[in-house]
Structure 1
Amino acid sequence: MNEETNNMETTEHYAQITSLPNEIIVMILKNIKIRDIMNFGATCKQFNDIVLSDNCLWKEKMYEVLPKNIYEIIEQNGDGNWYNEAKRFYIVTKNISAELKNMSPKFYWQTGSLTLLNIRAYFKEATQDSFSFYYVINFLQHAIEPNLKCAEVSYYLKEYNLTDAYYAKIVVGHLMHTFLTLKWVQAHIKNELTPSFVLNFFLQWIDTRRMYWDEDMNRLLDGLADQVESMFPNNMYAADKESWKIRDKLAAGLLSEDQVLGAISDVIYNQHSIKIAPGAGMETLDVVRVFREKRYMNLISAAATYHAVARRCGVHCELIVFPNHLYLEKRGPLGHPKDTLRIDLHNGTLGPVRRCPYSTSTGSKFRFKPDEFLQYIVSAFLMSSGPVKNAASDNATFLLDFLGNNPDEDNPYRNFLPHLLQIDYVSDHPRPLNIKYIHDDYLRIIKKLVNLNRGPPRFSRVPAVKEHEPAVKFAVGMVVYHKLFMYACVIRAWDRSCAAQWHLRSEFKNLQYGLNQPFYSVIALDNSSRYVPQENLMTTQLITRPEHLEENLGREFCDFDGFCYIPVAEKNDEYPTDEPIRQMHRERARVIELE
């Protein structure tokens, strides 16, 4: 009797689900994730028909998971089948997640940095069709920045993982850089390498965690030009010419270029209260962010902004770059010295041109050179960064390698520039190049670039298993403190005694316990790597998570538990007995805290 009752209840329950109107089922599906909708459609033919037939459902789900501008591009250029697009997004996301989780087991033991060939699986996914390149980059950017996670990405990543972020930064960097090499060459051939383009290109190359959209930059610059236009209304100059722009008034002699430049200076420096800062960090070079948040601006970004607005208003300015300085000049129609003015980028005032002390030329013969400007930005950025070693500084080095065609085998972009210039792909493929929607022609070029440089051979190192001895007091992942130089640091490795290559270091000659004591490889808070004897280290009661170090720790540690960093599985294989030491110090810290 019980068995019959259970069967009846099961049958009745199933009948109730299948008897729901399709409209009600679709309303339910709108509140669950893409992966769950597809799994639901796989349960039976009826549900599969519902899932496949409702294009509006998939259009709405894709609107939820994609940025608005990407959604609009797909709407304009896609085939209208939103189910297929959602399925493509779902498969790409799933495959990239699996590949990302497998990076540490595959490459932890590899010597040297990751090559383009190491990450061919990502390029394979990214070059399947016109939208997949952006899907892959979008997923990896969410893996790097947990605050950006959407529901679909969060499901696959489960939780923020330092190792996921570490490898995601490397991969998204190579994907973005390969795309940007095409973009640079196309703009070079089309003579579109303006100062504002070059500056935004630098931001896109250096900070691959974000999308520095060209549209945002152009929208800002157009807005500034419109503000300048509003300062010279048509009814003051030519009432019967309502559609006249500033350039028309200049041509008609109703305005002078000096008046226009004065208005540009007023808009930038007075109306927007822009101030100049000496540092060339991301916060002062990001023009869009500077104007949106009223931040300080660097001379580089001020020059690019001023030049772009003047150009939109019909005034010819020339940005001149030397290795150690730059300046902006207003050039007359014939380049005559009398028509040339120097623009003070600190405040926008106009003054006479003085002879440049770094040049033997007496006239205005210099012209803007995009390559030199880009190298100047990189140099200023690295100088502002100081000794800090992170993804941004690595990307800056890659950029110099690309521009200079560094012949070193370890240069991932070696030969990219001459190869792209040689094939002259712009004349064969005049279509616009946009990461939101990459045409098949460009995807084929990217596939070739990935295989252009094989790079030096990579080898797998043999793990040296280190088991604790009583003399070794600390463990990998612990945050400790240097007694003499008073800095905090994270332990990355240890030796039972001083490694041979350090024996002659002068600072180790007067150690109390000599060289026959444990030594630790650490990373200090200033991102420098150091080798420290145990007698100079101590535990610290006030442990603050050094988040700025995690770009360099992610390869070895996957998380921070409030006391120390948790090693990845491969690191644990190297130091299999370190966890009890970490746990002992955790317990001591708790006791001290309670006291």
Structure 2
Amino acid sequence: MPGGFSPGIAPALLRLPDELLEAIASNLPASDLVAFGKTCKRAHKITYESSIWKQHCISTWRYWEERHDLPGKLELPPGQTDWRRLYSERAQIDREALDIFNRMLLTQRGRYERMQQIAAHRYDVKDLMLSLKNETPDSAEDVLARRYHANAILGQVHRATAVEKWMSLQQGQPVKLEEALGAYDLFVLAGDKGDLGEIKNELGRIAQLIKEEYRNENQDADEGAEFDGLTVRQKAIRIARYLRSANLVGNPDAEDYHALRNNFISLALFDDKHTSLPLQSVAIYCAVAERLGVTASPSNFPQHVHAVIQSPPGQSLDGTAAPSPTEFMYMDPWNSGDEVPQDQLQQRLRQMGVPPGQHAHYLGAAATLEMVLRTGRNIMTSVEEARHRLRQAYSPGGPDVEAAWYSMLWSMLILGDSNPLAAKQRRRQCLGYLIEHFHAHFPEDIGLIELTPPLFEGEYKQQALQDLVDSARAADRDGKKPSPRDADADAVRFRVGDHFRHRRYGYEGFIVGWDARCSAGPRWIEQMRVNQLPRGADQPFYNVVADDNSHRYVAEENIEIPHETPSQVLMGLAGRYFKRWDEERRAFMSNIRDEYPDD
């Protein structure tokens, strides 16, 4: 009940047996439970019952940082874990994180530092950030800022997890294929379903469904029929056929082959379309197969990844004793539920001009590192195609193009190449693009950028990166120089927060800054033909964010104020700079007044 548990009710309750009191206590909100525990010794003892606090922990928070080992704790008797202390710890994290979050929105200074402080709690703040993102009411004074920054912090949490997985892989530590590939998903996930834990659970659920389907199909013919009794070959084929029948692998739309969504395991598992590239289909197949006792790996086969399945030690694929070398079979779950003959694959290799001496390599199991790099190259291709279809690429519901590109850059930077010598060159090539993307789209990732200098140990770039980190932290701490509307700005007609449409090109956006006259360099002015504009360079120019999430510099004569309300895409982007949309003013309410105090 609001305001705490009423002591007047306690005498009547305390006449009940302990079992009923525990049942009642388990349904009390945590604050009332604490209040009830203060009424007497018996109530105090009951409210310390570990099973009650275990239930509160499970019902209050869905996500937990790995350090808690929640799955392990759930398997133990309740009394072996101090669930009350654990609840108190999580509640304290929520309170502190929310306090930092609220203070962060009040000023630009130190904003990224505060975001990093919250994100440092990793999955222990995911529930809180999801609630801020999804449950902040439309009527809130700073609704857009709250939703945007909660989502941005979720992104930080996810990206830190992804980078950690790739760092482990780069250092030679074992990382499961679905985790190494799922790390890409964490960049485009934001707050939606499909992080590594959910991917793991879904793969386990699918494996269980395959077992149950087999049991149900055979219960009349053989009451003891179990999936585990099948041979490896039978299991391998049955797994592929189930995945195809459930529409969890493959892509019926050949024209949509390189669609960006097809590169991500979580979308193949959870999106309604379930489409994927062959590599992701094989990764899903292999992960499910592992859970069903089948050793399967992606192959090195060029252009189209297949799954290579090997027999158990001392057995053939058909379950007979086989002390001879391991047997292999091949599956292409993206295309078919049938086994692919090895001689068919060898024939394709010959047609590609692959020398026979290299066939064993291409038919063999691929390293996880190579599959991650191959996915990165596929994402690069998909993003380049998506950028040709810019409007479709940024439609709600699809993976964010810039986040996907960022994921590719991070994987290439960390993993480089399977060849150590080529890895250094690859890192040098992508570093500039990654830093550019960091500045433009993910400036809150200072903590991740801090991880990069050691990758260039002994090179001049190591110090340059450290200087960049120091500069970014100083800029965050000190804030940008204020631009008041003084006499020099009298000619600036539009304001920060104005929603506009480009007079010539038709895209919509919002204004996030201005200059009284064009401040770009001579080369840019020449390239953009600024002097050919009717008013030339001697007019106000505006820093804007367009509806494709690009940052542009637009002359005042090309700005026009539309009558319509901003699109939902633009509303989602606006929270980085603004509190909310003011329908009466027909403008966004600024949240960057440190920089533009009069707008």
Is the structural similarity TM-score above 0.5? yes
Counterpart of 2:501 in structure 1 is 481
Check whether the contact 2:151–2:190 (CA below 8 A) recurs between aligned residues.
yes
The one of 412, 421, 426 equivalent to 1:400 is: 412
In the alignment, structure 1 residue 463 sits paired with structure 2 residue 463: no
* Displacement of 1:20: 2.6
Check whether the contact 1:480–1:540 (CA below 8 A) recurs between aligned residues.
yes
Residue 409 of structure 2 aligns to which amino acid in structure 1?
T
Counterpart of 1:297 in structure 2 is 276
Check whether the contact 2:247–2:274 (CA below 8 A) recurs between aligned residues.
no
Check whether the contact 2:101–2:115 (CA below 8 A) recurs between aligned residues.
no
Counterpart of 1:575 in structure 2 is 596
* Displacement of 1:100: 1.6
The one of 142, 161, 180 equivalent to 1:198 is: 180
Look up the SS of the partner of 1:522 in the other structure.
strand
Mapped partners of 2:412, 2:11: distance in 1 = 58
Q: Closer, same or farther in 2 for the Cα pair 1:305/1:20, shift >3 Å?
A: closer
Return 5+ residue gaps in structure 1 as ranges: 1-15, 127-132, 251-256, 420-451, 579-595
Q: How does 1:423-572 map to 2 (within 5 A)?
A: 455-457=469-471, 458-459=473-474, 460-467=478-485, 469=489, 471-501=491-521, 502-547=524-569, 550-551=572-573, 553-562=574-583, 563-568=586-591, 571-572=592-593
* Displacement of 1:365: 1.6
Q: Closer, same or farther in 2 for the Cα pair 1:217/1:531, shift >3 Å?
A: same
Residue 19 of structure 1 aligns to which amino acid in structure 2?
G
* Displacement of 1:273: 7.6
Mapped partners of 1:290, 1:480: distance in 2 = 39
Mapped partners of 2:549, 2:227: distance in 1 = 56
Q: Closer, same or farther in 2 for the Cα pair 1:529/1:463, shift >3 Å?
A: same
Mapped partners of 1:564, 1:48: distance in 2 = 59
Mapped partners of 1:394, 1:49: distance in 2 = 57
* Displacement of 1:480: 0.7
Look up the SS of the partner of 2:491 in the other structure.
coil
In the alignment, structure 1 residue 162 sits paired with structure 2 residue 144: yes
Q: Closer, same or farther in 2 for the Cα pair 1:320/1:204, shift >3 Å?
A: same
Residue 195 of structure 1 aligns to which amino acid in structure 2?
L
Residue 242 of structure 2 aligns to which amino acid in structure 1?
V
Mapped partners of 1:134, 1:212: distance in 2 = 11
Check whether the contact 2:10–2:36 (CA below 8 A) recurs between aligned residues.
no
Q: Closer, same or farther in 2 for the Cα pair 1:92/1:103, shift >3 Å?
A: same
Look up the SS of the partner of 2:281 in the other structure.
helix
In the alignment, structure 1 residue 245 sits paired with structure 2 residue 228: yes
Check whether the contact 1:482–1:536 (CA below 8 A) recurs between aligned residues.
yes
The one of 61, 64, 67 equivalent to 2:62 is: 67
Mapped partners of 1:403, 1:499: distance in 2 = 39
Counterpart of 1:375 in structure 2 is 373
Q: How does 1:60-99 map to 2 (within 5 A)?
A: 60-67=55-62, 75-76=74-75, 79-99=80-100
In the alignment, structure 1 residue 363 sits paired with structure 2 residue 332: no
Counterpart of 1:146 in structure 2 is 134
Mapped partners of 2:177, 2:566: distance in 1 = 42
Return 5+ residue gaps in structure 2 as ranges: 15-20, 317-323, 388-399, 417-423, 436-445, 458-465
Q: Closer, same or farther in 2 for the Cα pair 1:364/1:41, shift >3 Å?
A: same
* Displacement of 1:550: 3.0
Give CA deviations for 1:273-294 in whole Å, capped at 9, x if unaligned.
8551524545763457636845
Mapped partners of 2:185, 2:11: distance in 1 = 49
Look up the SS of the partner of 1:327 in the other structure.
coil
Check whether the contact 2:178–2:287 (CA below 8 A) recurs between aligned residues.
yes
Mapped partners of 1:513, 1:418: distance in 2 = 47
Q: How does 1:135-284 map to 2 (within 5 A)?
A: 135-143=124-132, 145-147=133-135, 161-179=143-161, 193-204=175-186, 206-207=188-189, 209=191, 210=193, 211-213=195-197, 214-223=199-208, 225-226=210-211, 229=214, 245=228, 249-250=231-232, 257=233, 261-270=236-245, 272=247, 275-276=250-251, 277-279=256-258, 281-282=260-261
Mapped partners of 1:240, 1:178: distance in 2 = 49
Mapped partners of 1:208, 1:21: distance in 2 = 46
CA RMSD of aligned residues (A): 4.8
Q: Closer, same or farther in 2 for the Cα pair 1:263/1:548, shift >3 Å?
A: farther
Mapped partners of 1:30, 1:243: distance in 2 = 40
* Displacement of 1:554: 3.1
* Displacement of 1:537: 1.5
Q: Closer, same or farther in 2 for the Cα pair 1:355/1:18, shift >3 Å?
A: closer
Look up the SS of the partner of 1:512 in the other structure.
coil
Q: Closer, same or farther in 2 for the Cα pair 1:453/1:141, shift >3 Å?
A: farther
* Displacement of 1:328: 0.5
Look up the SS of the partner of 1:325 in the other structure.
coil
Mapped partners of 2:40, 2:142: distance in 1 = 34
* Displacement of 1:355: 0.6
* Displacement of 1:542: 1.7
Counterpart of 1:412 in structure 2 is 450
Check whether the contact 2:373–2:412 (CA below 8 A) recurs between aligned residues.
yes
